[in-house]
Structure 1
Amino acid sequence: MQIYFRTVPIYFWIFTIWCMSKVYQYMFNEDQTIWELIWKKSLKLFGDDEYSLFVNGILATSTIVLVSLMTIYSIFDFTLKPDFIRKYKINPKSNEPPDVKKFMKVLLCASFTGVFLTKPGFMAVYYAFKWRGFPNIHILPNITTVMITCFINDHIYDIANYTVHRTLHHKLLYKHIHKMHHEFISSIAIALIHAHPIEHLFSNIFPIAIVPFVLRCHISTAWIWVMVLLASSIIEHSGYHLPFINSTEFHDFHHVKFDSNYSTLGLMDRIFGTDKAYRNSINAKRDKLLLSFKSTRELYPDEDSKVMKNQ
């Protein structure tokens, strides 16, 4: 069950928002849920057009999530405020604050890949998706279908991401391509988008874009799933293990120990045994959903790691 706790919090918040929209619908005697109203406005904004909804819609919603969360985490990192947030940092004193030149270099590289690779990548997937046929964009799936689809999407993505990610760690590819991403040994949020153009295509775009194509899911579901995945990825690269949201211990360990924890959920690592070092570390003990305001370092002090090493 520890594997699934990494994604449960975000889906819990999605379900909570859906419940709130149903309450709103009941209280104000509305014919439509908030989600249905948002989708109708989206159809007006992007046009009643599958291409615009799929390519421009996913890129727009993803950019909103990316910029919003990275701005929040960057404020934490550069201002070192608020004070209470410091105790949730997985590796205290690291990147406090981050190197400004390195940060700007990442932004510049990410802007290049975003403009010249991301949209063409999703355009290619759109035409493949069109060949399969899009579900009716005017009929929204129910919440059960959305949640089940997202759950299956996560597992297809985990297989694709593990395969590509582990391949990039091969000695013939690592130093030429993937090493760029691992310049952040102690990860911060912006490390997510710090990738070689080849890695961006095959590790960031391909595994994400292929999933909606395989399941032929509704475009609105693709929006939700991509936003959830992107939010989860930013959180797991942030270097903070905050209460009530996804645990970040698993992937943060990968940035410290390069030969462990290649997947997102952790399921593929468990199957292939590439998480053994992690399971014997204090990080695995701290890999919990925090349901209080105590940090994992308070719940599981560093002294525990010495005990685990001696066992």
Structure 2
Amino acid sequence: MLPYRSLIEAEVALGRNLTYAENLWFRYSASMPDYLLYYHNFVFLFLIFTLAPLPIAVTEIFRPSIIAPFKLQPKINLPPSSFLRCYKDVLTAFCLIVVPLQLISYPSVKLVGIRTSLPLPSAWEILAQLVVYFLVEDYGNYWIHRAMHSKWGYEKIHHVHHEFIAPIGFAAPYAHWAEVLVLGIPSFLGPALAPGHMITFWLWIALRQCEAIDTHNGYDFPFSPTKLIPFYGGAEHHDYHHYVGGLSQSNFASVFTYCDYIYGTDKGYRFQKAHLQKQLREQWAAAQQKGIETANHEAKFD
């Protein structure tokens, strides 16, 4: 809730006219309690989880040939019932775990200093904070995920997430309730260390969810704009982790690849990638040689 009774009062307090975005924010949030603004996360998470994986899921079920060339594990094709079961299970966990956790966590948001007031942050401020949030979350998630692959962690908790050997977008948050709770810590650590505006916090939650869905969609699209992000792992990097399964000691990072490279937990992945590239080069060379031999044979009889 903003401490201004009118736009004029807000402009006097700031010493300038409000921007268009600030004008919209004032009209929307001036009389709304801060805790209701924070609870918008429920809606954002639900809509993103429901809608973001839908295009690829629908295409895979009804027109799989369109995206088949980009599928990372082409031998595994899940029936529609698996997609529906995954969605229902995650939605249940969302209602029973995520929503209650968000309801009781508002005091911590106020404590760390996430604000709803004017002025709104600049685009550069938002970008800088989002970079910090992603780096902090990625580093923390790496070590938690790595711990989950200990014998006890995997057998008691993390095996649930690995039920999908070939992951799908809906399976991004598919996990044991304890894992859902623990992985929320690094997600909140960035905003706690570098608190910003509520809009930045909303954007962070939305982008992190979109990223998780992207890395679990099971397809490596060469035209994806995420290919332009330095050190971004994407679906190809994380799909290998699911492919290896419970024995995997590789590709623990959630977003970027630098932790796996620094700590040597991507050696298996890099070896497999190099091996596949070698096979492709050999197949290309064999096809080229066969073409030359065919051309020479045809020229001989002309």
Q: Is the 8 A contact 2:133 2:187 kept in 1?
A: no
| Cα pair distance change 1:78/1:283, threshold 3 Å | farther
Alignment-derived partner of residue 176 in structure 2: 196
Alignment-derived partner of residue 123 in structure 2: 143
Tell me the CA shift for residue 57 of structure 1: 1.4
Tell me the CA shift for residue 103 of structure 1: 2.9
What do residues 87-126 of structure 1 show as CA deviations (whole Å, max 9, x unaligned)? 221222422xx23443333223212210111122223432
Tell me the CA shift for residue 132 of structure 1: 2.8
Aligned amino acid, residue 51 of structure 2: S
Matches for 1:254-269 after TM superposition, within 5 Å: 254-257=241-244, 258-264=248-254, 265-269=256-260
The secondary structure found in structure 2 opposite 1:281 is: helix
Aligned amino acid, residue 74 of structure 2: P
Which of 2, 19, 40 is equivalent to 1:57?
40
The secondary structure found in structure 1 opposite 2:55 is: helix
| Cα pair distance change 1:160/1:107, threshold 3 Å | same
Bigger relative contact order, structure 1 or 2, given CA contacts below 8 A and separation 6+? Answer: 1
Q: Is the 8 A contact 2:61 2:79 kept in 1?
A: no
When Rg is computed on C-alpha atoms for both structures, the one with the higher figure is 2
Q: How many residue pairs get matched?
A: 256
Which of 55, 58, 72 is equivalent to 1:90?
72
Alignment-derived partner of residue 280 in structure 2: 303
Q: Is the 8 A contact 1:249 1:284 kept in 2?
A: no
CA distance in 1, matches of 2:28, 2:280: 52
* TM-score, reference length from structure 1: 0.74
| Cα pair distance change 1:304/1:183, threshold 3 Å | farther
The secondary structure found in structure 2 opposite 1:277 is: helix
Task: Indicate whether 1:249 and 2:236 are aligned.
Answer: yes
| Cα pair distance change 1:140/1:254, threshold 3 Å | same
The secondary structure found in structure 2 opposite 1:193 is: coil
Identity of aligned residues (%): 24
Task: Indicate whether 1:108 and 2:88 are aligned.
Answer: yes
Aligned amino acid, residue 109 of structure 1: D
Aligned amino acid, residue 214 of structure 2: I
Alignment-derived partner of residue 227 in structure 1: 206
Matches for 1:103-182 after TM superposition, within 5 Å: 103-182=83-162
| Cα pair distance change 1:129/1:267, threshold 3 Å | same
Q: Is the 8 A contact 1:69 1:231 kept in 2?
A: yes
Q: Is the 8 A contact 1:261 1:275 kept in 2?
A: yes
Q: Is the 8 A contact 2:161 2:175 kept in 1?
A: yes
Task: Indicate whether 1:279 and 2:265 are aligned.
Answer: no
Aligned amino acid, residue 203 of structure 2: I
What do residues 228-250 of structure 1 show as CA deviations (whole Å, max 9, x unaligned)? 11111101100111213334211
CA RMSD of aligned residues (A): 2.7
CA distance in 2, matches of 1:152, 1:196: 27
Matches for 1:196-215 after TM superposition, within 5 Å: 196-203=176-183, 205-215=184-194
Tell me the CA shift for residue 274 of structure 1: 0.8
| Cα pair distance change 1:63/1:192, threshold 3 Å | same
